[in-house]
Structure formats: structure tokens, C-alpha cells
Amino acid sequence: MAGGIAHDFNNLLTTILWSGRLIEQQTDAGHPIARDLRRLLDAADRGRSLVEQILTFSRRRDHNLVPVDLGRILSESLDFLRPSLPKGVALRERGPAYLPPILGDPTQIQQVIINLCTNAAQAIGENRTGTVEIATDIAVLSAEDAQRRGLSTPGDYVRFVVRDDGAGMSPEVRERIFDPFFTTKQLGIGTGLGLSVVHGIVRGHGGSIDVRSAPGEGATFEILWPMATNTVDSKQAPTQDASPSGSEHILWIDDDAAVLEAGQELLHRLGYRVTSSRDAQEAWSAFAASPADFDLVISDQMMPKMRGDELAEKIGSVRPDARMILLTGYFNILPRRSDGPTPIRKILMKPIDPAELAAAIRAALDD
């Protein structure tokens, strides 16, 4: 089920990412729309990471932890949250201008921020006024402090605090808030999974989470994140000028019309000649009629009449030196292993960053 959902969602994200990059290439950096466009593309990138997280969970694989700018993710998360909060709830942020990077999964860290802030707003309620305060700073833990918080090593941590002035919790409720499906909210408001997910993510990152609350005194959630030492933030936006280009003839096949149109425009901008088709049988007929006309074939793997790997077998049978790139939104439906030579040079998981696609195309053509 996760694979099927991811396939359709990845097609949507692919269209958003590719169309957004095309607009970005035509937009001056100082134009008023540039910041909105960057926010859109950042959200699409986070959506891509979310799909990867779902698939990773379904495959029970570990996450790759990278240096993360908590301040940037926090700012983006609060921009996302503000429009959805009750009118009487105010968000207040305080902290240093610079925080050292933490080691983590950016999508999961954002999920922690959104879950905690949403929970705090719900604790205040729809018909009350109140404040959700978010604070960050550096915490230096002694060996005794680290042991008390369940942390393996003492030293420097990035502290993240979410505080609300809602109704607060009794000791009995406070002891159970991290239990899956436990909730004090009315039916239809929350699932009872938000705080248990937060707890699992924090502990999985080698951090700690602590809660302080009493009836009538609101609640304070304090998280300590391990720092990323001796590393640099690798989440910098790719430079658009770095995309390799060419003038070869590419046959492009995808049954999703929006993906096909966005991809065709992207390749035209890179200088390639493109013949496109939504029908794999039709594309095969065009290739078979003149195999030497096409320098590269790019095809989706899952299509109604013929899979991408089946198309690859046919292409290889009439032109052994053909080159092909497969695109797929499924993690569990990959091409069958071929006993003989195959034209497939690369398999790319959707949604694909345009720079990654451009590099894969150039590599396949130059192979």
C-alpha cells in the first residue's frame, strides 16, 4: 500500500519540482515571486523526503542522519503552521541567531516541531487565547546530567523547548502521554499518535525528551539534540548552472501527462531534441521504425500496456548498443534481472531533482 501511494504522490511531486525549477530558471533572484517560489520548492523537497520516510518505514530500514540546520527547519515549520492555528493562539520564538548543526533526519525533525506545536495549540483550545513559545539554546551536560536524561555521553547539546499556557496535565496523564493512541482529546481531534511519534524520533536520534506540567500551569516539552561535530551542512540548494546539457535526440515515455509535459520542457531547456509519448506500445513502434534516430530512451517503469523493463528488452533486441534510463515511483516493483545485455544504464526513483536527471542523462549518453 505504501508503494502504491508513493507512486502516485511521487508523480505529483515530480511535476511540481520540475515545473518549479523551470520557473526558477526564468525568474530573477530579486523578483518578489522568487521567495515564494523557493518556499514552494523547499516544500516539494520536504514532500519528497516524507515519501522516502514512509517507504523507509515500510521497509524497516535505518535513516541516514546528516548535519541539519535546526534554525532553518524551525523557521520553515512555523511559517507552515501559523495559518492553521486558532486565531487566539500566538507563536513566539526566541533563541540565538546561530545554532550549530544537529545530526538528524530533516523530515523527522520537522515532524517533531509540527507535532509539538500543534499539540501545544490544541492544549490551549479553539476558544481561548494563549501563547506557544518556542525556544532554542545550547545545553552543556555533565556526566550526571546526561545519565539522568538517559543520554549516553555528556557534553554539548542543542536544546529545543516548546512551552504553552494551556490547561496543563495531571500526573496520571503526564505519565501516559507518550503511549501510542493515548489521548485526552475529543473524538475526531487527534489520533493519539503525535507525541508517541515525537518520542520515537527523538530517542532514535540519540536525544532526550522531558515534559513538565501541572493542572492550570500549561506544559513544557524540552528536547536535547546531539550536535553534528566536525561536519558541514550538506543541505545547500543545487546550483542551476551546473546542469549538463546536450543536443542529442531523446525518446521520452510516461503515461502521466503532467510528468511527460514537464519533462519534455525540462529537456528542451537543456538543449535536447525530444520525442514524447504516453503510450509504451506507440513509443516502441516509433523506435522500431527507426532505431538509429534515438540517442537515449527515458521511460517510466509502470505503464498500462508495457512495463519499462519489457520495453527495454524489445529495444535491446533491435539495437544492442541502445541507452535507456528508467524512472519509477515504486520501491518494490523494479525491473526484472536480465540474463543478457540490457540497454538500461540507470534507474532513478521519482521524484527526481532536475539536476540529478540532467547528470544521469549526460552520463548515459557519454557511457
Per residue in 196-205, pLDDT tens? Answer: 778 888 888 8
Q: Would you say 179 and 196 are in contact if contact means Cβ atoms under 8 Å apart?
A: yes
The Cβ of residue 30 has, within 10 Å, a number of other Cβ atoms equal to 6
Domain check: are 220 and 265 in the same one? no
Domain check: are 326 and 187 in the same one? no
Domain check: are 187 and 157 in the same one? yes
pLDDT at position 17 over 60: yes
Domain check: are 186 and 332 in the same one? no
Grid coordinates representing 82 are: 501559523
Overall number of domains in the chain: 2
Whether this prediction's pTM lies above 0.85 is answered by no
Range(s) of the domain holding residue 181? 70-232
Domain check: are 222 and 318 in the same one? no
Q: Cβ contacts of residue 229 below 8 Å, gap of 6+?
A: none
The pLDDT assigned to 229 comes to 66
Q: What is the DSSP letter of 242?
A: G
pLDDT tens-digit series, residues 143-198: 998 888 888 888 889 999 999 998 898 888 888 887 765 566 554 444 445 687 78
Distance of CA 199 to the CA centre of its chain: 20
Q: Would you say 228 and 207 are in contact if contact means Cβ atoms under 8 Å apart?
A: no
pLDDT tens-digit series, residues 238-250: 344 456 889 999 9
The packing angle between helices 106-124 and 70-81, to 10°, is 40
CATH number reported for the structural domain that contains residue 217 in this entry = 3.30.565.10
Q: Would you say 287 and 297 are in contact if contact means Cβ atoms under 8 Å apart?
A: yes
Domain check: are 227 and 256 in the same one? no
pLDDT tens-digit series, residues 110-129: 889 988 998 899 888 877 88
Domain check: are 199 and 274 in the same one? no
The pLDDT assigned to 193 comes to 57
Kindly report the backbone phi and psi dihedral angles of residue 327, in degrees, each rounded to the nearest multiple of 5, phi listed first: -115, 140
Domain check: are 131 and 246 in the same one? no
Domain check: are 129 and 213 in the same one? yes
Indicate the pLDDT class of residue 353, thresholds 50, 70 and 90: confident
Among 189, 205, 232, identify where a domain stops. Answer: 232
Domain assignment present for residue 21? The answer is no
Percent of the chain with pLDDT strictly greater than 70: 83
The pLDDT assigned to 242 comes to 52
Domain check: are 75 and 206 in the same one? yes
Domain check: are 135 and 265 in the same one? no
CA dihedral 276, 282, 286, 288 (to 10 degrees): 140
Spatial strand order of the sheet with 89-94 comes to 89-94, 130-141, 155-164, 219-226, 208-213
Domain check: are 127 and 187 in the same one? yes
Give the CB-side neighbour count of residue 148, counting CA atoms within 13 A: 6
Indicate the pLDDT class of residue 341, thresholds 50, 70 and 90: low
Residue carrying C-alpha cell 546539457: 245
Q: How far from 71 is each of 87, 110, 187, 340, CA to CA, in Å?
A: 25, 11, 34, 51
The pLDDT assigned to 21 comes to 86
Among 232, 262, 294, identify where a domain stops. Answer: 232
The pLDDT assigned to 81 comes to 85
Domain assignment present for residue 65? The answer is no
CATH number reported for the structural domain that contains residue 251 in this entry = 3.40.50.2300
Domain assignment present for residue 3? The answer is no
Grid coordinates representing 123 are: 492544549
